[in-house]
Amino acid sequence: MSSVDHPYRTRIRSFTRRGGRMPPRHQVAYDALAPTYVIDVPRDGGSTTVDPAYSLDVADVFGRQAPLIVEVGPGSGDALIAGAKALPDTDFLALEVWQPGIGQCLSRLVEDPLPNLRFVEADAEVALATMLPAGSVAEVWTYFPDPWPKRRQQHRRIVRPEFADTVCRVLAPGGMWRLATDIEGYAAHMRALLDHHDSLEFVSTDRAPLRPVTRFERRGVAVGRDIADLNYRRRA
Ligand SMILES: C[S@@+](CC[C@H](N)C(=O)[O-])C[C@H]1O[C@@H](n2cnc3c(N)ncnc32)[C@H](O)[C@@H]1O
């Protein structure tokens, strides 16, 4: 199959590339720290698509063997940075398409480096499907994924059957998928899909231990929305 007709080329994207410009402080941090923290992956045409033939050698990247947590769409990185600080013996890989978000995260690492954290600036759906070995991830975090609230856009929500299969592929047996959303219909959709997934076992609606209150959570609470936390375990 040529790269032109590769299925990843015609997939439905869960994101639009928004506002490319960063505040100067974030740009300075991005320019200084991206060579250390942002893994330079080969691309398959589109700038957000990791070449599906590429495998990431995680132990080589971090220089050790350690449990790995992957965050899908960390945005400005509140949960990611809190997690990486709290668990220095765990490695964190953040998959984010929004470069200004990565810039903002990096601006927080200028004074406070985190050797157990790396970013891949790419579409997580493709990166997770191809870049990491099966069963290699201890946890996947998907907090406040883009809600795509309009009915005609809902097919773009990242939590859909193919993505659930992708997450299950990378999770180790017993590994956890932790999700949160403030959109009632999205939470119901997650439950309807994931409760019946053959490879997942529903665990709880408890708030994830390391999940801090983020801008998205505050915004949802301010307009009277309930926050749904969902925790699933990868079956052995
Ligand atoms: C609503 S924000 C939430 C950010 C963060 N998780 C939080 O709770 O504050 C969703 C984030 O997911 C990112 N995103 C959406 N689709 C993605 C994809 N396919 N791969 C990687 N990141 C994605 C967006 O760029 C955005 O930063």
Q: Specify the pLDDT at position 118.
A: 98
Q: Which residues are annotated as a binding site for substrate?
A: 150, 182, 214-217
Dist. CA 131–CA 169, nearest whole Å:
11
Q: 186 falls in which pLDDT band (50, 70, 90)?
A: very high
**In the chain, what are the domain boundaries?**
23-234
Q: Rounded to whole angstroms, how far apart are CA atoms 163 and 123?
A: 12
Q: Are strands 117-120 and 200-204 parallel, antiparallel or unpaired?
A: unpaired
Q: Considering the domain 23-234, what is its CATH architecture?
A: 3-Layer(aba) Sandwich (3.40)
**Closest atom of ligand 1 relative to the 14 alpha carbon:** 16
For residue range 103-135, list pLDDT tens digits in order. Answer: 999 999 999 999 999 999 999 999 999 999 999
CB of 14 shorter than 6 A to ligand 1: yes
**Structure confidence by residue, pLDDT tens digits, 68-88:** 999 999 999 999 999 999 999
Cβ contact 11:125 at 8 Å: yes
User: Known catalytic residue: 146?
Assistant: yes
> What tokens appear for 234 in the block?
């990868």
The pLDDT tens digits of the residues spanning 152-173 come to 888 999 999 999 999 999 999 9
